[in-house]
């Protein structure tokens, strides 16, 4: 079976990280070098995770309790939880799902004297120009978070120059993964310095805990080979293991004490692996991933939509599609050897807070309820990609034909000279 997602970290990368767990390196020097490589040491902060840096930035800003942050309605749960942890209110803004842009009319309705910031998420590997967001923010004197957790492409993009902070993740399933790690680039070096100071007050993440995660991902990488993956999936389904449990296998900071886990400063081996990976990142891997996506997209019917299909830049970090019956198609594809997963996966669209009850992100909800994540990645051959696209087309065509078939009751006569037929029709109706 073809895995639903390919981990973007090699065994040689993991071995490098493991070796650095036993190496007495200087974490400050590595942080300095990463800053120089990324943007500048004075405006760059390397954190244990993107959400760690986000949490520290909110702490440094010290916004008044009850302040509101306008946030892309579709995001990971912990981003909303971090906002709430600081006594702030996250106001989810619906998205134009064709571009994944926040709807301007909803932004205008939501902004008020309590609004202090806006968090725009670049989703699914897409990247939209930030100019409209920046203009809106400056008009209303808002702090701008640009969340690029899912859009790293190794092309030198470190955020819009006027974004107050741009955040990138190198977590377990991200591009250029180091299992943990995030980089934040600040517009104001003074704020970067304050976030750095706050981070240095945190406990140091254990290099031995990082070693355990490196070993675990070496195991996962091995198990993701097709033969072993097929066996693992067969056993999991025989035992009734839910897809959520399988997804949790790669969650580093999940659980009841999630905040405690990510409120730590990064260790030397994690920083060393991040520097190693950034400086050796193969940008051609993005081109190959886009080519794989194009092979499928060209063969899908126009009736099948994709979130962000009209985004100006897309690197197809994952490949969601809106289909008529995501659960049915998921089961069908598994019989053909393609693993996939439906629903929101690690995303959520939270209920709106008190006072914003009509901000329910209806367009985002409508599409995400019908989303299936297809296994489109560079671990597949062109023939397999074509077979996958054809299977999706066949299933959607069959579903469409079934919907167009007349119901049994509609074939009964509505009027007839024979009174017996009329009575039968009345009884059925």
Angle between helices 268-279 and 27-38 (to 10 degrees): 30
74, 121 contact by CB (below 8 A): yes
Placement of tokens 């006072």 in the chain: 355
Query: What confidence tens digit (pLDDT) does each residue in 231-289 have?
Result: 766 676 667 666 555 555 555 655 556 666 789 999 999 999 999 999 999 999 999 99
3-state secondary structure 393-428: HHHHHHHHHHHHCCCHHHHCCCCCCCHHHHHHHHHH
Q: Which residue, among 129, 130, 126, 128, has the nearest Cα to 118 in the 3D structure?
A: 130
Q: What is the pLDDT of residue 339?
A: 92
The Cα–Cα gap between 166 and 156 comes to: 13
Q: What is the pLDDT of residue 408?
A: 52
Q: What is the pLDDT of residue 407?
A: 54
Q: What is the pLDDT of residue 129?
A: 94
Burial per residue of 327-343, b for 16 or more beta-carbon CB atoms within 10 angstroms, e otherwise: eebbebbeeeebbbbbb
Q: Which residue, among 110, 121, 54, 45, has the nearest Cα to 81 in the 3D structure?
A: 54
Q: What is the pLDDT of residue 246?
A: 55
Tokens representing 90? 């996250």
Element spanning 218, H or E: helix 207-223
Q: What is the pLDDT of residue 262?
A: 84
Q: What is the pLDDT of residue 302?
A: 87
Q: Low-confidence residues of the chain, pLDDT below 70?
A: 232-234, 236-238, 240-260, 400-429
Burial per residue of 393-412, b for 16 or more beta-carbon CB atoms within 10 angstroms, e otherwise: eebbeeeeeeeeeeeeeeee
Q: Is the pTM of this model over 0.85?
A: yes
How many helices (H) and strands (E) the chain has is answered by 17, 16
Q: What is the pLDDT of residue 416?
A: 39
The Cα–Cα gap between 306 and 186 comes to: 32
Q: Which residue, among 208, 148, 209, has the nearest Cα to 174 in the 3D structure?
A: 148
The DSSP string of 291-350 is HHHHHHHTTS-TTSB-TTTT-SEE--SS-EEE-S-HHHHHHHHHHTTB--EETTTTEE-P
């Amino acid at each position: 079976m073809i895995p639903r997602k390919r981990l973007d970290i090699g065994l040689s990368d993991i071995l490098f990280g493991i070796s650095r767990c036993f190496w007495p390196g200087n974490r400050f020097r590595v942080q300095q070098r990463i800053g120089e490589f990324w943007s500048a040491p004075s405006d760059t902060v390397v954190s244990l995770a993107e959400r760690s840096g986000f949490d520290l930035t909110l702490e440094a800003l010290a916004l008044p309790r009850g302040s509101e942050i306008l946030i892309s309605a579709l995001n990971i749960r912990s981003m909303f939880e971090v906002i709430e942890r600081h006594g702030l209110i996250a106001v989810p803004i619906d998205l134009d799902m064709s571009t994944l842009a926040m709807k301007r009319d909803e932004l205008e309705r939501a902004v008020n004297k309590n609004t202090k910031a806006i968090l725009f998420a670049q989703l699914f590997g897409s990247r939209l120009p930030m100019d409209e967001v920046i203009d809106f923010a400056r008009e209303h004197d808002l702090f701008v978070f640009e969340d690029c957790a899912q859009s790293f492409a190794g092309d030198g993009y470190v955020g819009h120059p006027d974004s107050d902070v741009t955040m990138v993740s190198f977590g377990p399933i991200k591009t250029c993964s180091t299992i943990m790690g995030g980089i934040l680039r600040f517009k104001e070096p003074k704020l970067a310095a304050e976030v750095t100071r706050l981070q240095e007050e945190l406990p140091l993440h254990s290099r031995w805990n990082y070693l355990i995660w490196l070993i675990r991902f070496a195991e996962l990488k091995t198990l993701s080979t097709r033969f072993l993956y097929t066996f693992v999936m067969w056993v999991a389904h025989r035992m009734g293991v839910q897809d959520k449990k399988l997804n949790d296998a790669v969650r580093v900071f999940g659980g009841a004490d999630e905040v405690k886990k990510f409120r730590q400063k990064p260790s030397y081996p994690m920083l060393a692996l991040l520097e190693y990976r950034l400086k050796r990142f193969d940008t051609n891997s993005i081109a190959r991933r886009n080519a794989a996506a194009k092979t499928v997209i060209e063969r899908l019917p126009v009736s099948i939509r994709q979130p962000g299909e009209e985004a100006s830049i897309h690197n197809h970090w994952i490949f969601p599609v809106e289909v008529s019956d995501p659960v049915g198609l998921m089961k069908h594809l598994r019989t053909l050897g393609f693993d996939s997963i439906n629903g929101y996966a690690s995303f959520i669209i939270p209920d709106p807070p008190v006072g914003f009850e009509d901000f329910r992100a209806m367009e985002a909800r409508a599409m995400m309820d019908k989303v299936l994540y297809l296994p489109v990645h560079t671990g597949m051959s062109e023939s397999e990609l074509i077979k996958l696209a054809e299977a999706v087309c066949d299933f959607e065509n069959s579903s469409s034909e079934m919907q167009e078939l007349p119901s049994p009751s509609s074939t009964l006569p509505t009027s007839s000279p024979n009174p017996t037929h009329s009575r039968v029709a009345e009884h059925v109706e």
